[in-house]
Structure 1
Amino acid sequence: MKTFCGRANPTTGALDWVEEGEEYDFHQEIARSCYADMLHDHDRNEKYYQGIRAAVARVKARGEKVIVLDIGTGTGLLSMMALTAGADFCYAVEVFKPMADAAQCIVEKNGFSDKIKIINKHSTEVTVGPDGDMQMRANILVTELFDTELIGEGALPSYEHAHQNLVQEGCEAVPHRAIVYAQLVESELLWSWAKLQHIEVEGARLVPPPAVDLCAGAHSVCDIQLSQVPPHNFTPIGPVCTMFSVDFSKPVSSAHQTHSSHFLAQFSGQAQVVLSWWDIDMDPSGSIVCSMAPNWTYPEPKMAPWRDHWMQSVYFLPAEKRVAEGEELSLTVCHDDYSLWYSLGADSKQGTETEALPCRPCCTCQAHLVWTRPRFGELNDSHRTETYVSALRSVLKADSVCLGVSDGSLLPVFAHMLGAKKVFSLENSRMSKQVIEEVLEANSMKGHVQLLEIRPDQLTCNDLGGEQISVLMGEPFFSSSLLPWHSLFFWYCRTALVNLLQPSATIMPHSATLHMVAVEFQDLWRIRAPCGTCEGFDVQPMDEMVQRSLDFREALEPEPHPLWEYPCRALTQAKAVMNFDFTQCVPQQPISSRGLLPFLRSGNCHGVALWMEYQLTEDISVSMGLTGPVNGQGACEWSRHRKQGVYFFSSPWESSGDGRASVSYNLTFEPSLGDIKMEFTLESL
């Protein structure tokens, strides 16, 4: 059975109707989950298995029959671990039906179907009794309900319900407890993701709107690979603090709670950011620990386990606060049933005034709803600003009529500051328009830049006051873009505006190039690696059907990833492989590019990284990928502001680095689809 799904095309701006097969949701949802990453997380699997074996042994030592409840079973791996460890029966709960069906297949394939019952329900809907889903309450509770923030997947309500209804009093729990840690720091890099800062343009200062400056920010956690933020990018204001712990073997409350840690400031500086992570103890003694700590907390950073399904969290204080070395501080964490937030006050134990109980941060300025955190960092990047200002300065004239085409962009503001006669800007949403209006008002520029909430193909000469455009400019940046080439939407806008452009109009950027390099990932390859027998545990956690789902993405398109968080080595040179001329309209015929990239370094090639570079003027360009040359060992430095595209190969290609093997590429840009079809093969001499 086929169905048609309507999707907004991020490149062309059109609504596309796509025919999908009946297994679409199954493939897509499993493909987008983190099951492959978790199954390749040897440290996680080993610690869970050790904890489960110990819990089973403790129950057996009491002479009891071992009944296990596994909430959020996923592939059924933890339930199979429990049976292998000697459990008598397992109830495995999985609310997501496609995954529950997959778990059933996996359990049957491994010969455990008579001792594992898959229950396709939310755990809070599971019943116990002769006619219920479970015949009796369990005496071992096994779960993997955690996310980067620990509680974001509803762990607390699930545990609360399980203790009240599904498990015996005094049950064993694996994991046994979780401990949340935090460290208060000053970081120019991280703070640039939280607030719009002052921007210098030609000796003038662009100030943020008061509402943006005072806003507490977005309530959602910023989860990143904190190991890739080197210690020189932040200054610890305080020590690593134990904020709170949760004992999962006892009744758990999902009620709002507040915990504080008191300490003396180690350095004078601006308290801005809280770095946070958690550990889980798999046993009561705390001898089996699975830690999420970043690698720079380890004596040997290379020994830190890598995982992408659990990372670390960055929280931004509602406002930065100047503190002095030796000052007594109180860091407070609050949580409801799904999220955490932090605040900083004076130490109440010393009798000093404390801040009121902090409320959950909520954006009141709308800027945090319009701009993502990487986008804030991009807008606050002074080098980037200087690059765009230099390009604008070289193309603007006193009589220039400018039109900006980007989402929530400050380029039109810069154009006015540089003396353009008239400046217009197309905004994709009312919210985005309102944020830029507040920027203009805060800088006494209201009316000098006219914001138009209208589609490019609907814009008329009347909307421009009878003027024709002499400078069409864009970063380009669009909030709907996922993959690098989706920003070619600028080209489609330019084409729609052709009748409003002066014959000699300047297009900035005037062109773009798609670049690629074949890479060996240090760790990211794990999210796409085939799953078979888990290392150290003799069961097959994946069957062919589930593996096909995890491989499904490769047949569709590359994936967007912020590669600054995922170290890799370039095995070939970086090369421009496709050109797009914005001075001309989008062509009707496809653009094709073929070629070879010889391997220059030995290693396992996991795929290719792809990004866009924009030629603003003849001598000024900006890269959304590599920010500098690849060094002799192949190390790459990537832009923190944009995601790059990654095309994973189904299995690694081994390179000897002697130039006798190459990556052969065949790329075709389809103008009607706004997409690039890609084919890669390994060529050997």
Structure 2
Amino acid sequence: MKNFCGRTNPTTGALDWVEESEEYDYHQEIARSCYADMLHDHDRNEKYYQGIRAAVARVQARGEKVIVLDIGTGTGLLSMMAVTAGADFCYAVEVFKPMADAARCIVAKNGFADKIKIIDKHSTDITVGPGEDMEVKANVLVTELFDTELIGEGALPSYEHAHQSLVQDGCEAVPHRATVYAQLVESPLLWSWAQLQPVEVDGTRLSPPPAVGHCSGAHSVCDIQLSQVSPRSFTLLGPLCTMFSVDFSKPVSSAPQSYSSHFVAQMNGQAQVVLSWWELDMDPSGAVVCTMAPSWTYPQPKMAPWRDHWMQSVYFLPGESKVTEGQELTLTVYHDDYSLWYRLQSPSQQHPRGDLLLSRPCCVCQAHLVWTRPRFGELNDKLRTESYVSALRSVLKEDSVCLGVSDGSLLPVFAHVLGAKKVFSLENSRMSKQVIEQVLESNSMRGGVELLEIRPEQLTNNDLGGEQISVLMGEPHFSTSLLPWHALFFWYCRTALAGFLRPDATILPCSATLHMVAVEFQDLWRIRAPCGICEGFDVTPMDEMVQKSLDFRESREAEPHPLWEYPCRALSQSATVMTFDFTQCVPQQPIIRRGSLPFIRSGCCHGVALWLEYHLTQDVSVSTGLTGPIDEQGHCEWSRHRKQGVYFLRSGWQSSGDGRAAVSYDITFQPASGDIKMDFSVEQSQTVGGTL
């Protein structure tokens, strides 16, 4: 049976009706989850298993039957661990029905169906009693309800209800305790993701709107692989603070709380950012600890476990403030039932009830709703700005009429400063338009750029005041883009606007090129690899249906990843495999490229990284992928501003690096749909090379 799904095409901008099989959404939901990554987290699995065995043993030592409640069971792994450890019965709760169905299959396939009951409800909807969801209350509570922020998946309300209704008083809990840590730092790099900074354009200083500078920013946590942020990128202003702990074996409250840590500043600097992570004590003694601390906190950083489902958190203070060495400071963390936020104070600023009354910060300037944190970083990248300004300067004339096509871009502002006769800009949303209006107003340029809240195909001569466009410009950046080539939407816009362009109009960028390189990932390969659980625990972790879900995705398309967070080595040269000529309209015929890239370094090829490079002019280019040459060892430096495309091979290929093997590619750009279809494989060959 087929279903029709309406989707906005991020490349063409059109609304597409896509025919999908009835089971498509099921496969995609599971494939795009983090279940494989969690199953690959051996450190997590081993420590959960140790904690579960110890908890079961403590209940058995009291002469009681062991009844386990597993909230958020996922694949059923922790429930199977509990039964293997000697539990008499386990109630496994999974609200996501497709995953609950998969867990039933997995549990049955491993012979645990008689001792594990899968309940596909939210835990707060479960009833207890004869004939109900649970016959009796549990005396062991096992959960994996945590996200990078610890409580973002609703852990506190779930624990609160469980203690009120689902578990016995004095129950054992695995994990037993969670502790949140934080450290105050100065970091121009990280701060550039939170606030728009002044920009110099040909001697004119463009200042950010005051409302943006005074705004608390987006309320959502910034979760990243903090291990990939070099300690050289920040200055520690205070010690690592223990902010608060939650004992999961006792009643838990989801009510708003605040906790403070008092310390003395260790350095002079600008307090801007709080780095935070948490750890789990799997047993009451604290002997079994699962920590999320970044690798640079370890005596041997390479020994730090890698995981992607739990990372570290970056919190931006409402505003930066100067601190001096020896100054007494108070760092306060606040939380509601789903999120955390921080505030820095000196003792003189504190007041008795202020902490509990402070509400969660939220964006009031709209910029933090329009621009993502990587986008803030992109707008604050001085070298990148210089490239665009240099390119604009080379093409603008006194009579230039410019039209900008990008979401929330400063290029139209730059064009006005550089002396263009008239500047228009198409904005995709009212909010985006209002943010750019704030930028113009704060720099006394309100009439310098005319912002049009319309789509390219809706543009009329009246909108342009009868002018013909001499410079069509874009970064390109669009909020709907996920994969690098989604930004080819600029090409479709250029095509829709062809009738408004002068015959000699300049298109900036004039072209884009698709690049690829075969890579060996340090860790990212784990999210698509077969799973092994942990020492001493042997089950079939995923049934054929779940494995099919993972294969379904990896064999058909690339997926977006910020590769600066996921180190990799290049095993081949990087190569240009396709060119998109923006000086011409989108062609009607597909663009097809086939060829191969020889392996020039030894290693295990896990897949291919892909990105676009924009050629603003013949002399100026901007990369959304590699930001420098690949070194002799194959080390790659990736742009922090955009996600790259990653196509995972079905299995890793061990390369000797002698050039006898290569990764072959077959890439087709379909103009009608805007899709780029691709297929990669490894072949043995004496002679390899690219073909058109």
Q: TM-score range by the shorter chain?
A: over 0.9
Aligned to 1:476: 476
Aligned to 2:610: 610
The range that moved more, 669-678 or 339-348, is 339-348
Is 1:245 matched with 2:245?
A: yes
Change (3 A) 1:582 1:662: same
After superposition, the C-alpha distances for 1:188-215 in whole angstroms (9 at most, x for unaligned) are 0000000111111111110011111111
Amino acid of the structure 1 residue aligned with 2:360: R
After superposition, the C-alpha distances for 1:317-360 in whole angstroms (9 at most, x for unaligned) are 00001111100000000000000000000136999998895321
Give, in angstroms, the shift of residue 24 of structure 1: 1.7
Classify the secondary structure of the residue corresponding to 1:182. strand
Give, in angstroms, the shift of residue 531 of structure 1: 2.9
Aligned to 2:347: 347
Classify the secondary structure of the residue corresponding to 2:413. helix
Contact 1:163 1:250 in 2 (8 A): yes
- Looking at structure 2, the residues matched to 77 and 350 of structure 1 have their Cα atoms a distance apart, in angstroms, of 47
Equivalences for residues 297-316 of structure 1 within 5 A: 297-316=297-316
Change (3 A) 1:414 1:351: closer
Amino acid of the structure 1 residue aligned with 2:524: L
Amino acid of the structure 1 residue aligned with 2:408: G
Classify the secondary structure of the residue corresponding to 2:463. helix
After superposition, the C-alpha distances for 1:161-212 in whole angstroms (9 at most, x for unaligned) are 1111111100000000000000000000000000111111111110011111
After superposition, the C-alpha distances for 1:437-457 in whole angstroms (9 at most, x for unaligned) are 010000000011000011111
Aligned to 2:627: 627
- Looking at structure 2, the residues matched to 648 and 596 of structure 1 have their Cα atoms a distance apart, in angstroms, of 16
After superposition, the C-alpha distances for 1:285-318 in whole angstroms (9 at most, x for unaligned) are 0000000000000000000000000000000000
Give, in angstroms, the shift of residue 50 of structure 1: 0.3
Classify the secondary structure of the residue corresponding to 2:374. helix
- Looking at structure 1, the residues matched to 348 and 113 of structure 2 have their Cα atoms a distance apart, in angstroms, of 57
Give, in angstroms, the shift of residue 429 of structure 1: 0.4
The range that moved more, 41-50 or 454-463, is 454-463
- Looking at structure 1, the residues matched to 189 and 314 of structure 2 have their Cα atoms a distance apart, in angstroms, of 12
Is 1:167 matched with 2:138?
A: no
Give, in angstroms, the shift of residue 532 of structure 1: 5.6
Amino acid of the structure 2 residue aligned with 1:177: R
Aligned to 2:430: 430
Contact 2:40 2:532 in 1 (8 A): no
Aligned to 1:177: 177
Change (3 A) 1:580 1:49: same
- Looking at structure 1, the residues matched to 5 and 351 of structure 2 have their Cα atoms a distance apart, in angstroms, of 62
Q: Extract unaligned runs of 5+ from structure 1.
A: none
Aligned to 1:156: 156
- Looking at structure 2, the residues matched to 249 and 606 of structure 1 have their Cα atoms a distance apart, in angstroms, of 42
- Looking at structure 2, the residues matched to 682 and 230 of structure 1 have their Cα atoms a distance apart, in angstroms, of 34
- Looking at structure 1, the residues matched to 356 and 559 of structure 2 have their Cα atoms a distance apart, in angstroms, of 44
Give, in angstroms, the shift of residue 533 of structure 1: 5.7
Contact 1:345 1:354 in 2 (8 A): no
- Looking at structure 1, the residues matched to 663 and 245 of structure 2 have their Cα atoms a distance apart, in angstroms, of 50
Give, in angstroms, the shift of residue 536 of structure 1: 3.9
Contact 1:601 1:658 in 2 (8 A): yes
Change (3 A) 1:125 1:597: same
Is 1:188 matched with 2:188?
A: yes
Equivalences for residues 190-589 of structure 1 within 5 A: 190-347=190-347, 357-531=357-531, 534-589=534-589
Change (3 A) 1:351 1:403: closer
Aligned to 2:68: 68
- Looking at structure 2, the residues matched to 139 and 258 of structure 1 have their Cα atoms a distance apart, in angstroms, of 30
Classify the secondary structure of the residue corresponding to 1:432. helix
- Looking at structure 2, the residues matched to 354 and 635 of structure 1 have their Cα atoms a distance apart, in angstroms, of 49
Give, in angstroms, the shift of residue 256 of structure 1: 0.2
Give, in angstroms, the shift of residue 47 of structure 1: 0.1
Give, in angstroms, the shift of residue 551 of structure 1: 1.9
Give, in angstroms, the shift of residue 32 of structure 1: 1.3
Q: Extract unaligned runs of 5+ from structure 2.
A: 686-692
Equivalences for residues 662-673 of structure 1 within 5 A: 662-673=662-673
Amino acid of the structure 2 residue aligned with 1:360: R
Classify the secondary structure of the residue corresponding to 1:461. coil
Classify the secondary structure of the residue corresponding to 1:478. coil
Contact 1:532 1:542 in 2 (8 A): no
- Looking at structure 1, the residues matched to 110 and 434 of structure 2 have their Cα atoms a distance apart, in angstroms, of 58
Contact 2:257 2:356 in 1 (8 A): no
Contact 2:555 2:650 in 1 (8 A): no
Amino acid of the structure 2 residue aligned with 1:338: Y
Contact 2:180 2:276 in 1 (8 A): yes
Contact 1:346 1:355 in 2 (8 A): no
Is 1:6 matched with 2:17?
A: no
Give, in angstroms, the shift of residue 682 of structure 1: 1.1
Change (3 A) 1:47 1:349: farther
Q: TM-score, normalised by structure 1?
A: 0.99
- Looking at structure 1, the residues matched to 626 and 567 of structure 2 have their Cα atoms a distance apart, in angstroms, of 12
- Looking at structure 2, the residues matched to 353 and 185 of structure 1 have their Cα atoms a distance apart, in angstroms, of 27
Contact 2:257 2:335 in 1 (8 A): yes
- Looking at structure 1, the residues matched to 316 and 684 of structure 2 have their Cα atoms a distance apart, in angstroms, of 51
- Looking at structure 2, the residues matched to 59 and 352 of structure 1 have their Cα atoms a distance apart, in angstroms, of 43
Aligned to 1:640: 640
Contact 1:345 1:355 in 2 (8 A): no
- Looking at structure 2, the residues matched to 348 and 616 of structure 1 have their Cα atoms a distance apart, in angstroms, of 53
Give, in angstroms, the shift of residue 665 of structure 1: 0.5
After superposition, the C-alpha distances for 1:614-659 in whole angstroms (9 at most, x for unaligned) are 0001110000000000000000000000000000111111111110
Give, in angstroms, the shift of residue 530 of structure 1: 2.0
Give, in angstroms, the shift of residue 470 of structure 1: 0.3
Is 1:116 matched with 2:116?
A: yes
Change (3 A) 1:348 1:253: farther
Contact 1:330 1:348 in 2 (8 A): no
- Looking at structure 2, the residues matched to 20 and 555 of structure 1 have their Cα atoms a distance apart, in angstroms, of 17
Amino acid of the structure 2 residue aligned with 1:671: P
Amino acid of the structure 2 residue aligned with 1:599: F
C-alpha RMSD of matched pairs (Å): 1.3
- Looking at structure 2, the residues matched to 367 and 14 of structure 1 have their Cα atoms a distance apart, in angstroms, of 26
After superposition, the C-alpha distances for 1:231-265 in whole angstroms (9 at most, x for unaligned) are 00000111110000000000000000000000000
Equivalences for residues 119-134 of structure 1 within 5 A: 119-134=119-134
Classify the secondary structure of the residue corresponding to 1:305. coil
- Looking at structure 2, the residues matched to 155 and 533 of structure 1 have their Cα atoms a distance apart, in angstroms, of 24
Aligned to 1:596: 596
After superposition, the C-alpha distances for 1:66-87 in whole angstroms (9 at most, x for unaligned) are 1111000000000000111111
- Looking at structure 2, the residues matched to 440 and 262 of structure 1 have their Cα atoms a distance apart, in angstroms, of 42
- Looking at structure 1, the residues matched to 190 and 352 of structure 2 have their Cα atoms a distance apart, in angstroms, of 30
Change (3 A) 1:475 1:349: closer
Classify the secondary structure of the residue corresponding to 2:587. coil
Contact 2:528 2:554 in 1 (8 A): no
- Looking at structure 2, the residues matched to 649 and 534 of structure 1 have their Cα atoms a distance apart, in angstroms, of 25
Aligned length: 685
Q: Percent identity?
A: 81
Aligned to 2:139: 139
- Looking at structure 1, the residues matched to 11 and 546 of structure 2 have their Cα atoms a distance apart, in angstroms, of 31
Amino acid of the structure 2 residue aligned with 1:105: C
After superposition, the C-alpha distances for 1:265-299 in whole angstroms (9 at most, x for unaligned) are 00011000000000000000000000000000000
- Looking at structure 1, the residues matched to 398 and 386 of structure 2 have their Cα atoms a distance apart, in angstroms, of 20
Classify the secondary structure of the residue corresponding to 2:445. coil
After superposition, the C-alpha distances for 1:135-168 in whole angstroms (9 at most, x for unaligned) are 1111100000000000000000000011111111
Change (3 A) 1:262 1:13: same
